[in-house]
Amino acid sequence: QVHLVESGGGAVQSGGSLRLSCAASGYTYSIYCLTWWRQAPGQEREGVAALDSVGGTRYADSVKGRFTISRDGSKNTLYLQMDNLKPEDTAMYYCAARYLERECKTHVLTERGLFAYWGQGTQVTVSS
């Protein structure tokens, strides 16, 4: 079993920054596809960013140039650095993991059903 715990959410003003963390424990592997998703009230959950074990990254168009996904292997922790935040970034943010997959699929950010392991989420609120 894999356990994911997000942290780092909060309330910031437009233009501000936050760094989200997702700590993984349990039966994790060094071959992975790790992702961040978000869900605003009344909206579908959408993929934000992905990172795989060969260093490939993918971003939703809405966050390109503002968000950066990274991982610290020594801590088994995934990060999402969010800069120049906008009110439309307000959502609950979740991390999700898929192991024993060397690279994320091309359209991974639209394939929520691929992921069996999810965290409980951390709230990000951006005010104008």
pLDDT tens sequence across 81-91: 999 999 999 99
**Amino acid 105: pLDDT:** 93
Decide: 59 and 70 in contact? Cβ < 8 Å.
Answer: no
Question: At 105, which amino acid appears?
Answer: K
Query: Average pLDDT, stretch 25-30?
Result: 87
Query: Average pLDDT, stretch 12-31?
Result: 94
Query: Average pLDDT, stretch 72-89?
Result: 97
**Which residue, among 46, 18, 27, has the nearest Cα to 97 in the 3D structure?**
27
Those residues with Cβ within 8 angstroms of residue 72's Cβ, 6 or more apart along the chain or in another chain: 79
Res. 28 pLDDT band, cuts 50 70 90: confident
| Residue 86: how many other CB atoms lie within 10 Å | 15
Query: Average pLDDT, stretch 116-122?
Result: 97
Given a cut of 90, whether residue 29 has pLDDT beyond it is no
